[in-house]
Amino acid sequence: MLCKTIDEDTNHSPLLTFVTTEKVNFASSQNGVSVLKKLVLENQSDVPLENLTVELTCQPGLLRPKVWKLDRLAPGKQQALHDLETPLDTVLLGGLNEAETGRLTLQVWQDDVELLSETRPIEMLARDEWGGVGEMAHLLAAFVSPNDTVVAGVLKEAGRLLEATGQSGSMDGYQSRDPSRAWMLAGAIWSAATGLGLTYAVPPASFERQGQKIRDPGRIRSEGLATCLDSALFLAACFEAAGLNPAVLFCEGHAWTGVWLTDRDFGTIGEPDVMTVRKALDAKEFVSLETTLLTKRPSVGFEEAIERARELTSERNEHDFIMAIDIRRGRAARVRPLASHRSEPATEIADIPASPAALPKPLSLGMLPGELIEEEPSTPADRILRWQRKLLDLSLRNRLLNFKDSKQTLSFFCPDVSSLEDQLAGGKKFRVLALKDEDPVGTRDMLVKEEPKLLEEVAMDAFSRGQIATILTRKEAGSRLLELYRRAKSDMQEGGTNTLFLAAGFLRWKKSEGDTQSYRAPLLLIPVKITRQSAQSEFFIEHHEDEVRFNTTLLEFLKRDFELGVPELEGELPRDESGFDLPRIFEVMRRRVREVAGFEVVEDIALSTFSFSKFLMWKDLVERTDSLRKSALVKHLVDNPSEPFIAAGNPGLPDATDVDRRLAPRDLFTPLPADSSQLAAVLAAEEGYDFVLIGPPGTGKSQTIANIISQCLAVQKTVLFVAEKSAALDVVHRRLAAHGLGDAVLELHSNKADRKSVLSQLGRSWKRAAQNSEAEWIKVTDDLSVTRDQLNAYVAALHERGTQGFSIFQAIGETAGRCRRSDFPFRTRMLTIQTAMRG
């Protein structure tokens, strides 16, 4: 909840902007959720404000009062307040049987004078209540209880069922790395759960968004009742306890469970893209189950539950899909199961009157994920072909070949696509007009053929006023824009590339002339970005600085599957005086597909996210195979991947103990601190070794990479630093820039890769002047060399064995170990640095 407030009665009152959570529960307190998300104080007056105090309180005592102090806030300035952590009262929230409403109050004081005060409600949910898929989506994992005694009873019964068929009864998760074993484990758990004899309970309306009270496994067992969410969370707990990775899926008015057959996850706690879920289902890596079938009699089998759940994510129902919540990712985010103080023995379920469903049939090899059963290529050519196949997705799962309307897309009604591209290229911003809310037809009695003409006129009029029309409602269009805005922002932060494009023009195509199903592939992809001034402002669509591109994946697809080439669009695209010549591009495509049955070019336009990174890698692999094989490492992976890699001429990696002897300080150009093992890695890179640098988080890997780049630059080497995520690139670049090496680095990712940016970076590098003289460097490093040698000599003497057979270091250790007092006397003449150097 965002709020801006100002006291109208005081001329010098500041503007207070703050964001708070709307709901909290016991899971919030257990998992460190803070009530306050953002707090900004702004002085809108023309005089400074001094001695300010901001105080947060709550009634009842959900949290302790929190106070921030500001000595001075200058006119027109704003100050974001930090340290927003507000621990919740676990005892209070843990004791609630029903939801209550509390009151959060934020006050701003100047000395003893209250400048403003704002109070807002906060909903305190019952201990066993979840708040829905909004801001509480990630806390659903807290209601999955793998350690419950009822869950243990189900697993025990599942093991018995497996042993009865001659299989292992252990709950060993993915240890065998065999999807068939995960399939049988999940099937046995399902069969055991059907023996609980549960009865279906109707959930409250809109529970998926508003939330509901949740029965834990103990209540489910004792009451014999379960809503769809109860049964979904219960089955997810059983899967997690068995070492499998579950997910809970939501659509409008319903919840069900899924489980991974391979040790994977969705990569995020909440996955809103139903297509991503379908891809995992199609690849047989993930199965979902209609968990309400646990309440059916006679018991329903595992395969039927999977078949019934598959309909929930089908294309015709994808508009109802909300998200999949990945429990494994929730655990990775430190969302723990709700604490329980019950201590009960594992529940046996053999005495329950319901008969468990039969175990599923074994998973056939044909259902295994492709990459797990793919035959190992035996020749270099086969290995390269396998790499190419993995990089180029020419299946119908690829949005670049099979574009469908979903919550991750937004189609527009634009009568002049070419003019839209020209105006975007010219810097114009466009808002979205929802035609359903405008309702230009209304109740008028119009001929069917007149309605499209009226809509076209309305859309053209909107276009002239800087608006793009969509046939959706304002609410639905806003929801999709928000989803695309967040997805594009996340892609940019993680991958460093813009993935948001306006698809201008589509090729409608069929697999064969008699095929009743047609597909749409976008033609021209115009890079755009979605912007807004604040969280409450409307969205604008504007041009992004990336290059406009043609759908090269489509061109390759047409070549491979239809032997249809379009050479006119493979290189530089036709242009006009305002930008790209869209009519010409569409006409070229129309001529090429004119004789192909089932193919047609349509001038539709839609907004969505697309990724080309793997296509560019595929193109490199196809066109530059011989050049890539010049690398000794790549050549080894192609020719002898099963053999150990030993680089020619390199006897072994540098040892950390030899760094000081092999490298003088004047030859060491590492601006960041480094220990001996990190310096050994720097030396290995300088000497041309191929190696893997391994270390847990916080051990200085990015720091070492920055030192490696600096050292290699100093010895006239060129370095290419590649990372999967742009954040890794940015960290290293910031470290180098902080030590004066920013102009020696050319950023070639994301928006830094356009022609203007590259030329600007090259210009700064060309004009850069040396900061220090070589003579100064030699003097400083020679002084360092003397000090380093003195310290090393001291250490060497300390560990040198004397004629008596042991070193001084060993003698000190032995004496300390035998002495009964901590402050023992040591009267032997101490060794000095000078005597160490003489020795």
CA angle 48, 51, 55 (to 5 degrees): 115
CATH 2.60.40.10 domain range(s) in the chain: 2-127
Q: Which two tokens stand for residue 598?
A: 């089932």
Q: Are the C-beta atoms of residues 20 and 122 closer than 8 Å to each other?
A: yes
DSSP strand pairing (600-609 vs 549-550): unpaired
301-306, long-range: CB < 8 A, 24+ apart? 301/190, 301/191, 301/357, 301/358, 301/360, 302/186, 302/187, 302/190, 302/191, 302/357, 302/359, 302/360, 303/360, 303/361, 305/190
DSSP state of 807: B
DSSP secondary structure, 100-167, as one string = EEEEEEEEEEETTEEEEEEEEEEEE--TTEE--SSTTGGGGGGG--TT-HHHHHHHHHHHHHHHHTTS
Separation of alpha carbons 154 and 150, rounded Å = 6
Predicted local confidence at residue 143, as pLDDT: 95
Q: Which two tokens stand for residue 550?
A: 């043609």
Separation of alpha carbons 686 and 667, rounded Å = 11
* CA-to-CA separations, 680 to 423, 653, 674, 689, in angstroms, rounded: 56, 8, 10, 11
Q: Are the C-beta atoms of residues 198 and 219 closer than 8 Å to each other?
A: no
User: Which of 523, 525, 504 minimizes the C-alpha distance to 592?
Assistant: 523
Q: Are the C-beta atoms of residues 461 and 433 closer than 8 Å to each other?
A: no
Predicted local confidence at residue 449, as pLDDT: 44
* CA-to-CA separations, 106 to 3, 120, 294, 600, 791, in angstroms, rounded: 11, 9, 48, 61, 58
User: Which of 838, 839, 814 minimizes the C-alpha distance to 826?
Assistant: 814
Which residue is it, tokens 């109802």?
A: 320
Contacting residues for 460 by C-beta, under 8 A, at least 6 apart:
415, 416
Cis, peptide link before residue 298, omega less than 30° from 0: yes
Predicted local confidence at residue 134, as pLDDT: 83
Where does residue 250 rank: exposed (0-12), middle (13-18), buried (19+ CB within 10 A)? buried
CATH placement of domain 2-127: 2.60.40.10
CA angle 554, 559, 563 (to 5 degrees): 135
Q: Are the C-beta atoms of residues 78 and 42 closer than 8 Å to each other?
A: yes
Three-state SS at 773:
coil
Q: Which two tokens stand for residue 396?
A: 């119908």
Separation of alpha carbons 208 and 134, rounded Å = 9
Predicted local confidence at residue 11, as pLDDT: 52
List helix spans (H) across 773-832. Answer: 774-799, 808-818
Task: Provide the angle, in degrees to the nearest 10, between the axes of the packed helices 149-164 and 179-194.
Answer: 110
User: Which of 246, 284, 239, 261 minimizes the C-alpha distance to 179?
Assistant: 261
Separation of alpha carbons 608 and 406, rounded Å = 10
* CA-to-CA separations, 279 to 282, 367, 395, 405, 607, in angstroms, rounded: 5, 14, 11, 16, 21
DSSP state of 801: B
DSSP strand pairing (225-226 vs 199-200): parallel
Contacting residues for 783 by C-beta, under 8 A, at least 6 apart:
none
DSSP state of 538: P
Predicted local confidence at residue 509, as pLDDT: 92
List helix spans (H) across 165-242. Answer: 179-194, 207-210, 217-223, 228-241
List helix spans (H) across 374-416. Answer: 380-391
Q: Which two tokens stand for residue 18?
A: 């703050």
End-to-end CA distance of the chain: give it in Å, rounded: 73
User: Which of 550, 544, 541, 547 minimizes the C-alpha distance to 601?
Assistant: 550
Torsion of CA 518, 519, 523, 529, to 10 degrees: 140
Separation of alpha carbons 131 and 137, rounded Å = 8
* CA-to-CA separations, 734 to 730, 738, 741, 745, 771, in angstroms, rounded: 6, 6, 9, 11, 19
Separation of alpha carbons 772 and 139, rounded Å = 55
Q: Which two tokens stand for residue 333?
A: 């985010």
* CA-to-CA separations, 576 to 422, 550, 585, in angstroms, rounded: 9, 16, 11
What's the alpha-carbon Rg for the chain, to the nearest Å? 33
Predicted local confidence at residue 153, as pLDDT: 94
Separation of alpha carbons 38 and 117, rounded Å = 17
Can you say whether residue 243 is alpha, beta or left, with left for phi > 0 and alpha for psi between -120 and 50 degrees?
left
Q: Are the C-beta atoms of residues 383 and 206 closer than 8 Å to each other?
A: no
Predicted local confidence at residue 421, as pLDDT: 87
Predicted local confidence at residue 322, as pLDDT: 94
Q: Are the C-beta atoms of residues 156 and 41 closer than 8 Å to each other?
A: no
Q: Kindly list the averaged pLDDT for each block of 10 residues, start to end, along the chain of length 839.
A: 47 79 88 85 88 90 88 87 85 88 91 88 91 88 94 94 91 90 95 93 87 92 93 96 96 95 90 88 90 91 93 88 94 85 50 71 53 60 82 84 90 86 88 76 44 74 87 89 89 80 93 83 93 85 88 90 89 82 90 88 92 78 84 85 73 78 84 89 87 81 92 90 83 89 81 71 78 76 85 87 86 78 51 46
Q: Are the C-beta atoms of residues 213 and 129 closer than 8 Å to each other?
A: yes
Predicted local confidence at residue 451, as pLDDT: 57
DSSP strand pairing (321-326 vs 246-251): antiparallel
